[in-house]
Amino acid sequence: MTSLPPFPTRRVDDLGPKEGRSPAGPRDDVQRIIGTVWDFSALLVFDELNMIGHLADEPLTVDELAERCGAHSGALRRVLRTLEPYDLARLRWGERWALTAIGTFLHDDTGEAIRRYVRKRAEPHRWQEVPTWPEQVTEGRRVTPSSRRLRRGLGASASIRLSDLLDSVDDFGALFVAAQLGLADRLASTPMCIEELTTEYGADGKTLSWMLQRLISHGLFTRKGDLYATRPAGETLQQDRADSMRLAVLMNGQMLWWEMLRRLPDTVRLGAPTLPDGSSSTYAYLAAHPDILARFQAFMAARTYPVARWLAAEAAPGSTVVDVGGGHGTVLAEILQAQPTCRGVLLERPDVILAARDSLAGRGLLERCTLMAGDFFAEVPAGGDTYILGSVLHNWSDDHARRILKRVREAMMRTGGSRLWCIDALLPFNDEPHPGRSLDMRMLSLFGAGQERTRREYEALLADAGLTVRRQIRLPHALTMTEAVIAAR
Ligand SMILES: C[S@@+](CC[C@H](N)C(=O)[O-])C[C@H]1O[C@@H](n2cnc3c(N)ncnc32)[C@H](O)[C@@H]1O
């Protein structure tokens, strides 16, 4: 065992304003466009389950509202939590939800057009359109954005965020086309005019112009005179970057993701998702669809890369790091590369471990890494100075998360003196916008009880498993690293 340096006990809430906030990065703009589509699905639930109508009658607790809507109350609470920053409904007197002025406006006749729009957007044939936009664009067909008249009708400045929600599907569609065509790479070195672009991609000029205009409004591209060029936020979509956001966009444009998003109202009714092919879980679905699994793991690797860099700098020289559910080994690869005296152990599902082996072998790191095909609900190997659970706990219900943590704690007990790093988004206590809220809708759609948690909820899970928090650090991309050790008896 290597002795690890002691750290002061600090929690996210104790951190100063600068260190307490996730460092903002150029990837955030792309992330925001992706996240807003998931928020839009929460608005869809809000309307389809007639939460607006029930709350217009009287303020209700989550359980009362769930009963009236015929919904699962835990899932319904999460929808309300996601929509908090849009200020449609607010918690009053600590326990009852009531419509705000904007929510009331949505309920009134004037809001009917908006509600109709939201429902229309979710009709299966319309929903299925966006994933086909890249194909339509390269076939030179005209893609028509939804009417903007509706947005102008919103008027009040308080509704600006609501108007973002209504634009979100078009915005994402434009982003998806840009990612598929590789526009960020194309326009990074050589600015081009619309005629050159339409010739190169065989696209309809009007379609490409409005799509670029949408992405300019999000700061990803710029237009000087007739020439379009990529801005730094747009460069995050470039293919060759290890942290490329392109993979996140392509993953979110997949029919599976899109279909699960459309099914959210049913998921909220049942409290759990139903997968299109009847698979028992999203991971079972991925195991049955190797092409989507490969894309998912590539997306996770790019998402995790900036965090992996940070963890690599934190790893103690000479230590053994066990990455539990470590995907293709992104974190271990960065640690082993940065720390030549470290060793790694990767525990993954059997359907993932072979690709992980290829990835680590490709970087010449296999000799210092043990690969274990296994199940973190059954056993976690002993011998680690540091254990890592990166974006793992948020895929699971509280019960399942406790079981994983208990297996990790048993391994830590058998080793002695180890620490655990858990990486997830921690939700704020107040109603401020946070990327974890939309991520929570993604977890609800794909994993049901898998969820983002507040710091208190997170620490309660760790405490239940006999672990205590030593420190917390905000990482890029609105993630937090929580370091825990075995609790003193
Ligand atoms: C969201 S991904 C996170 C991957 C990686 N830790 C990262 O941060 O990029 C969750 C990982 O848990 C793995 N996983 C799911 N169920 C598992 C199980 N029962 N045992 C081991 N790994 C599992 C999945 O294959 C997947 O790679």
Query: What tokens were used for 156?
Result: 């009040």
pLDDT in tens, 301-351: 999 999 999 999 999 999 999 999 999 999 999 999 999 999 999 999 999
What mean pLDDT comes out for the span 36-56? 94
Contact 253, 131 (CB under 8 A): yes
Look at residue 153 in the predicted model and tell me its pLDDT.
61
In the reported structure, the alpha carbon of residue 223 is separated from the centroid of ligand 1 by a whole-number distance in angstroms of: 41
pLDDT higher than 50, residue 441: yes
Mean pLDDT of the chain: 90
pLDDT higher than 60, residue 14: no
> Bigger pLDDT: 146 or 389?
389
Task: Print burial letters for 409-425: b (CB count within 10 Å at least 16), e (below 16).
Answer: bebbeebeebbbbbbbb
**Considering only CA atoms, which residue is closest to atom 1 of ligand 1?**
391
Look at residue 91 in the predicted model and tell me its pLDDT.
87
Q: Please give the radius of gyration of the chain, using alpha carbons only, rounded to the nearest integer.
A: 23
Q: Among the listed ranges 60-74, 97-111, 332-346, which one has the minimum average pLDDT value?
A: 97-111
- Please state, in angstroms and rounded to a whole number, the distance separating the CA atoms of residues 41 and 414: 45
Look at residue 152 in the predicted model and tell me its pLDDT.
61
Look at residue 114 in the predicted model and tell me its pLDDT.
84
In the reported structure, the alpha carbon of residue 410 is separated from the centroid of ligand 1 by a whole-number distance in angstroms of: 19
Contact 214, 166 (CB under 8 A): no
- Domains (ranges, CATH) in the chain? 27-238 (1.10.10.10), 277-486 (3.40.50.150)
Look at residue 15 in the predicted model and tell me its pLDDT.
47
pLDDT higher than 90, residue 115: no
Contact 324, 352 (CB under 8 A): no
Cβ of 391 less than 6 Å from ligand 1: yes
Phi then psi for residue 195, to 5 deg, are: -65, -40
pTM over 0.95: no
Q: Which of 300, 303, 310, 388 to mutate to test the pocket of ligand 1 (most atoms within 8 A of CB)?
A: 300
Look at residue 25 in the predicted model and tell me its pLDDT.
75
pLDDT band at 146, cuts 50/70/90?
confident
Cβ of 282 less than 6 Å from ligand 1: no
Cβ of 352 less than 6 Å from ligand 1: yes
Instruction: Give the other-Cβ count within 10 Å of 217's Cβ.
Output: 12
Q: What HEC string does the chain produce?
A: CCCCCCCCCECHHHCCCCCCCCCCCCHHHHHHHHHHHHHHHHHHHHHHCCHHHHHHHCCECHHHHHHHHCCCHHHHHHHHHHHHHHCCEEEECCCEEEECHHHHHHHCHHHHHHHHHHHHHCCHHHHCCHHHHHHHHHCCCCCCCCCCHHHHHHCCHHHHHHHHHHHHHHHHHHHHHHHHHCHHHHHHHCCECHHHHHHHHCCCHHHHHHHHHHHHHCCCEEEECCEEEECHHHHCCCCCCCCCCHHHHHHHHCHHHHHHHHCHHHHHHHCCCCCCCCCCCHHHHHHHCHHHHHHHHHHHHHHHHHHHHHHHHHCCCCCEEEEECCCCCHHHHHHHHHCCCCEEEEEECHHHHHHHHHHHHHCCCHHHEEEEECCCCCCCCCCCCEEEEECCHHHCCHHHHHHHHHHHHHHHHHHCCCEEEEEECEECCCCCCCHHHHHHHHHHHHHCCCCCEEHHHHHHHHHHCCEEEEEEEEECCCEEEEEEEECCC
Residues with Cβ within 8 Å of residue 474, at least 6 apart in sequence? 12, 15, 19, 20, 21, 22, 23, 480
- Please state, in angstroms and rounded to a whole number, the distance separating the CA atoms of residues 199 and 395: 44
pLDDT band at 204, cuts 50/70/90?
very high
Catalytic residues: 394
In the reported structure, the alpha carbon of residue 3 is separated from the centroid of ligand 1 by a whole-number distance in angstroms of: 28
- Please state, in angstroms and rounded to a whole number, the distance separating the CA atoms of residues 184 and 59: 47
Query: What tokens were used for 261?
Result: 């998003």
Percent of the chain residues topping a pLDDT of 90: 77
pLDDT in tens, 446-487: 999 999 999 999 999 999 999 999 999 999 888 999 999 999
> Bigger pLDDT: 24 or 90?
90
pLDDT higher than 60, residue 283: yes
Phi then psi for residue 415, to 5 deg, are: -90, -50
Cβ of 359 less than 6 Å from ligand 1: no
Q: Among the listed ranges 160-174, 200-214, 278-292, 433-447, which one has the minimum average pLDDT value?
A: 160-174
In the reported structure, the alpha carbon of residue 416 is separated from the centroid of ligand 1 by a whole-number distance in angstroms of: 25
Length of the chain: 489
**Considering only CA atoms, which residue is closest to atom 20 of ligand 1?**
375
Cβ of 283 less than 6 Å from ligand 1: yes
Of 169, 162, 163, nearest to 146 by C-alpha is 169
- Please state, in angstroms and rounded to a whole number, the distance separating the CA atoms of residues 347 and 372: 5
pLDDT higher than 90, residue 4: no
pLDDT higher than 60, residue 143: yes
Instruction: Give the other-Cβ count within 10 Å of 440's Cβ.
Output: 24
Look at residue 163 in the predicted model and tell me its pLDDT.
83
Terminal Cα-to-Cα distance of the chain (whole angstroms): 22
pLDDT higher than 80, residue 93: no
Look at residue 10 in the predicted model and tell me its pLDDT.
46
> Bigger pLDDT: 116 or 146?
116
In the reported structure, the alpha carbon of residue 202 is separated from the centroid of ligand 1 by a whole-number distance in angstroms of: 40
Instruction: Give the other-Cβ count within 10 Å of 42's Cβ.
Output: 27
pLDDT band at 129, cuts 50/70/90?
confident
Atom of ligand 1 nearest to the CA of 389: 6
What mean pLDDT comes out for the span 198-220? 95
Look at residue 160 in the predicted model and tell me its pLDDT.
62
Q: Which amino acid is at 280?
A: S
